[in-house]
């Protein structure tokens, strides 16, 4: 009984402490000011005003990564001039970890912090500032109180002289260019475009959509907005639930586009400014729009349990990026096809190319899709000359796994259900009802619930293992067949060679290919072939040679000459093509019609 009373008193004390903590948090206030008085220097100026922080000191943190981009980028390395004040009093500060600054304020509950951030990397995952515009990804600019990640805040943006536009999905909070966020997670997940960019708009599913267009590009404004609207409305049909009250596309039209990054109510797209002018380029833009827009369900709301709430200090590991990213690529392409921008024939051709790419990557037999997902932090964003030999993209492999699962579900349910229904179930069960992400096993259970049977063997062999996906059997459900043909029966060097700078430099070698087995190394400069001085890529000169013919190469390796002699092996690459069977059954036709739109 005495022990019980002690535990009861301890529990009461804990409740009191927690209540006190929450009351302090409720009384605490946080306001950011973002300025850019000299944008040509690439420095953002950040002020933080913190009120009601009653401890002896407060730790402020800068994230080490940006959610959606799985690499530790060490954003704190760009911070300069960190200082803190309480009124006019300068407070003592010290940096206690690579991304944590401690501010001592024993006599003051209210204090301010000022620092600068160097921002000169224009990508969808970093921040950038120059004389033309500013772009902010929250994790690389804004710090947060270590114990106040869920603290609401306001942000005032002070654009550079002459800049008139600020575009973000953050909600206005009174005053020009002043915004509110419910937590640091929302602030960090709401990029900001600042400058003189063009602002377009359209409505989809009753929700206003804003398009902030930075950079010059030739496009038909009316057509682009209409096509984006079609893509967005088709994306809504997958899950059938609208979680939005606003959405913002930030579009950077630059010389060479780099892709996109998803956010809770927005996305940033980096697009080659010339892409609008070709049919293939324009369809690529719509595919990118579909991919990033569908992320507002898949990843931002339907997510693996590891991807939220975020740990901004460390890697957030999951085996499920093949679902989150590869699955989004799969649905993105389906959305564009369903919306009428891609024919059924072109969709099957694109899927064929995807199979060809994956199956001709040696790393597909070394690394599983689940391993690729888990190792994104150390491999996916750090490719080297040997990456294709040791790994596979969770985007590419995940897209094919998605297609296989979709066809398997359609077949098992006699064309009554498909992978869309799995997404709807995950949205309702985990995002709405349980308010959390799902585990690996829960994802498999969701697929089983919709299909009416488990696919444990499929997941074991093809998702967590490296066996070749059962293309022929699964495509057969839809009356399709997969044909293969060798890329070449001639001898193949099995190496890529760069001609940059007038030098013939080996940049990669194919596992078990001629160069690999013959000892040709990456960074070797090829000087001569069979006694003749080389001036062009040796792959061109070797084309057509019979398999097993000998080749002599003179190379410069680390400044020393070396002669290599080795046999040229036959190429092992295959080209895959999906074709329709001559006489599909009614059941097969029903599966195909449920899978893609036949026009």
114 shares its domain with 217: no
124 shares its domain with 216: no
Q: What is the DSSP string of 376-400?
A: GGTTTTS--TTHHHH---HHHHHHH
In a domain, 237, yes or no: yes
36 shares its domain with 185: yes
Is the separation of the CB atoms in 487 and 493 below 8 Å? no
161 shares its domain with 289: no
CA distance 66 to 50: 24
CA distance 475 to 592: 9
CA distance 95 to 98: 7
In a domain, 245, yes or no: yes
pLDDT in tens, 325-364: 999 999 999 999 999 999 999 999 999 999 999 999 999 9
**CATH number of the domain residue 350 falls in:** 1.10.390.10
pLDDT in tens, the chain (599 residues): 333 333 333 343 444 334 434 444 558 999 999 999 999 999 999 999 999 999 999 999 999 999 999 999 999 999 999 999 999 999 999 999 999 999 999 999 999 999 999 999 999 999 999 999 999 999 999 999 999 999 999 999 999 999 999 999 999 998 899 999 999 999 999 999 999 999 999 999 999 999 999 999 999 999 999 999 999 999 999 999 999 999 999 999 999 999 999 999 999 999 999 999 999 999 999 999 999 999 999 999 999 999 989 999 999 999 999 999 999 999 999 999 999 999 999 999 999 999 999 999 999 999 999 999 999 999 999 999 999 999 999 999 999 999 999 999 999 999 999 999 999 999 999 999 999 999 999 999 999 999 999 999 999 999 999 999 999 999 999 999 999 999 888 899 999 999 999 999 999 999 999 999 999 999 999 999 999 999 999 999 998 899 999 999 999 999 999 999 999 999 899 999 999 999 999 999 999 999 999 98
Domain total in the chain = 4
Instruction: Give start and end residues of each alpha helix (H) in 413-537.
Output: 419-426, 440-451, 456-458, 471-476, 514-518
The DSSP secondary-structure symbol of 599 reads -
50 shares its domain with 186: yes
148 shares its domain with 241: no
425 shares its domain with 278: no
229 shares its domain with 91: no
């Amino acid at each position: 009984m005495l022990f019980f009373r002690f535990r009861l008193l301890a529990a009461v004390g804990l409740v009191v402490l927690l209540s006190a903590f929450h009351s302090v948090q409720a009384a605490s206030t946080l306001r950011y000011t973002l300025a850019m008085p000299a944008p040509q220097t690439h420095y953002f100026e950040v002020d933080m005003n913190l009120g009601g922080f009653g401890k002896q000191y407060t730790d402020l943190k800068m994230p080490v990564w940006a959610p959606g981009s799985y690499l530790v980028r060490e954003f704190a390395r760009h911070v300069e001039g960190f200082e803190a004040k309480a009124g006019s009093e300068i407070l003592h500060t010290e940096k206690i970890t690579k991304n944590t600054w401690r501010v001592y304020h024993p006599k003051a509950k209210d204090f301010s912090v000022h620092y600068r951030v160097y921002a000169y990397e224009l990508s969808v995952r970093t921040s950038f500032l120059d004389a033309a515009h500013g772009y902010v990804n929250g994790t690389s600019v804004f710090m947060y109180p270590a114990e106040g990640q869920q603290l609401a805040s306001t942000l005032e943006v002070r654009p550079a002289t002459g800049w008139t536009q600020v575009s973000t999905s953050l909600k206005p909070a009174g005053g020009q260019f002043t915004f509110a966020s419910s937590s640091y997670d929302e602030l960090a997940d709401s990029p900001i475009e600042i400058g003189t960019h063009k602002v377009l708009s359209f409505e989809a599913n009753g929700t206003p959509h804003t398009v902030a267009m930075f950079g010059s590009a030739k496009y038909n404004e009316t057509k682009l907005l209409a096509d984006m609207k079609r893509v967005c409305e088709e994306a809504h049909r997958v899950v059938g639930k609208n979680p939005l009250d606003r959405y913002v596309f930030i579009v950077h039209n630059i010389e060479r586009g780099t892709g996109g990054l998803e956010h809770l109510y927005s996305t940033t797209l980096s697009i080659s400014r010339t892409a609008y002018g070709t049919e293939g380029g324009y369809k690529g833009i719509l595919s990118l729009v579909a991919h990033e827009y569908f992320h507002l369900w898949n990843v931002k709301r339907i997510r693996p349990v590891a991807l939220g709430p975020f740990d901004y200090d460390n890697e957030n590991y999951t085996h499920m990026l093949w679902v989150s990213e590869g699955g989004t690529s799969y649905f993105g392409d389906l959305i564009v096809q369903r919306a009428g921008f891609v024919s059924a024939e072109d969709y099957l051709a694109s899927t064929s190319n995807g199979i060809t790419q994956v199956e001709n990557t040696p790393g597909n037999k070394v690394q599983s899709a689940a391993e690729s997902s888990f190792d994104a932090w150390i491999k996916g964003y750090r490719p080297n000359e040997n990456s294709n030999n040791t790994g596979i993209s969770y985007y590419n492999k995940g897209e094919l796994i998605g297609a296989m699962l979709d066809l398997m579900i359609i077949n098992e349910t006699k064309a009554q259900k498909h992978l869309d229904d799995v997404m709807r179930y995950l949205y309702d069960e985990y995002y709405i009802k349980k308010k959390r992400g799902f585990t690996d096993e829960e994802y498999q259970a969701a697929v089983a619930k919709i299909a009416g049977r488990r696919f444990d063997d499929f997941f074991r062999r093809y998702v967590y293992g490296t066996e070749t996906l059962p293309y022929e059997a699964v495509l057969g459900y839809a009356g399709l067949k997969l044909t293969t043909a060798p890329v070449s029966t001639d001898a193949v060097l099995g190496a890529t060679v760069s001609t940059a700078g007038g030098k013939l430099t080996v940049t990669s070698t194919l596992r078990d290919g001629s160069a690999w087995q013959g000892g040709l190394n990456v960074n070797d400069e090829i000087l001569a072939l069979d006694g003749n001085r080389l001036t062009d890529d040796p792959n061109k000169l070797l084309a057509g040679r019979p398999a097993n013919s000998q080749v002599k190469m003179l190379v410069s390796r680390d400044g020393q000459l070396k002669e290599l002699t080795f046999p040229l092996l036959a190429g092992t690459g295959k080209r895959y093509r999906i074709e329709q069977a001559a006489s599909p059954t009614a059941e097969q036709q029903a599966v195909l019609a449920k899978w893609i739109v036949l026009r």
